[in-house]
Chains A and B, each alone.
Chain A
Amino acid sequence: MSDFLLQLALALDAMFRVATPLILCAMAGIFSERSGIIDISLEGKMLAGAFAAGAVAALTGSPWAGLGAAIIVSILLGLLHGFACITHRGNQVISGLAINILASALAIVLGIALFRQGGQTPSLGQSERFRPIELPFAEALQNVPVLGMIYSEIVSGHNLLVYVALAAVPITAWVLFKTSFGLRIRAVGEAPEAVDSAGISVYLLRYRAVIIAGLLCGIAGAYLSIAHGGAFIRDMSAGKGYIALAAVIFGKWRPMAALFACLLFGFLEAVTARLQGVELPIIGEAPVEFMLAAPYILTVILLAGFIGSAIPPREIGEPYPKEK
């Protein structure tokens, strides 16, 4: 039994590490999609951010410079998405797809040109990465039953960006639902003509939303290559941006619900990794492939309306034709 508890604690600990990029990208997706811009380029922005962070951290030796580079690159891609979808009223899905393909290829091309290591960035030393942080009293509370163990084993000991991701959720919720900026972001995704007739620029609001999305995806990218990992590896985002998009839909475009979707998906992945090749009672060998596909299958089932209904912002995907 205690073995089971230990395994559970380790899985929960891993859950936070796996879920961090999902959470950041999901919040990015919520900002963008609430403003009416479909964002399938979460994946590409995160990957580009991961490359920028890995490259700049390797060149400068500073994780902070890496984080800054990741954010800048990811925001630039967000602005490209905005330029295509807001200014030129292009198809948002096509634009997102182009960004994903570009990011994946450019990272490898530039990586080879800069470092000549087959598209990877050099391995980073301890001081060039974000290291795990021991929260205060973690050690002292280690032996307190249950709560102390949860605190020291699961809550404490992650790197800074994990806590940033967790903080991003209430901040996103507060901005979206408690500030006038958030109200306008939501309004511009539901009824842009109303926002326009109130004399507020639809374009500017949507641009601000894609910039925030870029910022958050950049942090997620930096997490992959200079916090959780120690170098950029080609295609290291491995579909996480799409899982985050699934979490956005699963959470019905609400920050707290999306957080739980991310944690659920993260937990599934963490458990799957532990069950690789393990024989289970009754079902036999763990159906690893099936478990990895679970987020996608669950999202399809949700979208089909079998678990409640997921209604997107009304004007999502619709470019706003500004009157001349």
Chain B
Amino acid sequence: MTSHGLPRWADVGLLPLINILAAVIVSGVLIWVIGENPFEAMAVMFNGAFVYSGGFGYTLYYTTNFIFTGLAVAVAFHAAMFNIGGEGQAYIGGLGAGLAVLMADSFLPGFLLIPFAVAFAALFGAAWAFIPGYLQATRGSHIVITTIMFNFIAASVMVGLLSGPMMREGQGSPETRIFEPNGHMPYMHEMLGWIGIEVARSPLNLSLVIALAAAVLVWFIIWRTRFGYAARTFGHSPGAAEYAGINTTWLIIAVLALSGALAGMMASNAVLGEPHKIVVNFTSGYGFTGIAVALMGRNHPVGIILASLLFGALFQGGTELDFEFQTITRETVQVVQGLIILFSGALAYMFAPMLARILFMITPEREPA
């Protein structure tokens, strides 16, 4: 039994489903209120996300972004820290990946350049999270506020760079030049083509595999290493961690740097994978979606992958809404996202007492032990 009077299976499986259902019902009512048919909208989204040729590839492309940012938030959550800065860390991670490619795509072959660029993305993301982490650990400034501030600082830095020194020559829009082909993350449809499997063209690329590997790595770090144990101990009780002789200053910094590195690696998908250049605002809120993903996935890599798939489908399905309807647009998906954060985050246990009562009523009487 957990603290909310629910058996574990209900706490992990049933309650999150009820919370998502609540979010879906509220969204459905909203769509109905603005005069469209919610079931029709759902069908359009489902078709767009899974059925149309290439649709599923797009879904998995978005999924890849969310796995990275979701893992980033989850790692920090395990140490009871709230990293709202995924957006900025991913943005600066994109700067790292982009700089690596722009510097070296004239002479490095792809199989060296791509790992180099991904490492740079992780490094830059980690560095951007390191500063708030360092300030929290040594100066006591709260990371919730500092990471919010760092999102805005990152946005200013990037706009300054992309409309200044990094802007593509002879171009008015704030973006870099397009990378040479050896700086492109290989497309999934190309790689599958090499081994004879034909799939529709989509921006889905090798980053999905990197994301899944990162999920396994996060699982290993959090549950199978001394460092992960220290982080979880600190998350449950900072005092106990201190008393157990854990260097908490170093721990805070290391956890946030790891979190930032994961967020930064989103650039391997959203910069190296598809546009092949750094564009202003390429993160488009994916860092914040990572918070919803981590909350829904209960900070577990398996949960995060499933939640990322759901959000990937929502985002891809959402773009279909733009084509099919006059009044519902992709912002409807953002409403769903907000509701999911509300119901599975802030109101996570609203339905718990009710559910506990129902389960108690329907559970057959057991012999007292």
Contacts and interface: CB of A to CB of B under 8 A. Distances in A.
Interface stretch (B195-203, B245-253, B297-305, B345-353): B345-353
B341 A303 contact: no
Q: DSSP class of A's interface residues: helix, strand, loop or mixed?
A: helix
Interface in A227-275: 239, 242, 245-246, 249
Interface of A: 38, 40, 80, 83-85, 88, 90-95, 97-102, 104-106, 108-110, 112-113, 116, 119, 239, 242, 245-246, 249, 287-290, 292-293, 296-297, 299-300, 303-305, 312
B82 interface: yes
Contact of B148 (A85, A95, A242, A292): A242
5 contacts: A109-B329, A112-B329, A119-B331, A304-B139, A305-B140
A303 B346 contact: no
B34 A110 contact: yes
B160 A97 contact: no
B interface: dominant SS: helix
Given A88-B349, A101-B288, A300 B341 contact: no
A95 B135 contact: no
A304 B156 contact: no
Contact of B347 (A88, A112, A299): A88
> Which A-B residue pairs are the 10 nearest by beta carbons?
A289-B160, A303-B141, A105-B334, A102-B338, A95-B346, A90-B346, A293-B156, A101-B338, A113-B34, A94-B345
Contacts of A109: 30, 34, 328-329, 331-332, 335
Interface string B329-369: 10110110111011001111110000000000000000000
Interface centre among B332, B345, B350 (most CB of A within 10 A): B345
B185 to A, nearest CB: 29
Contacts of A112: 327, 329, 331
B145 interface: yes
A303 B34 contact: no
A245 B142 CA distance: 13
A239 B327 CA distance: 27
Contacts of B153: 293, 296-297, 300
B170 interface: no
B141 A300 contact: yes
Given A91-B345, A102-B338, A303-B142, A108 B152 contact: no
B146 A303 contact: yes
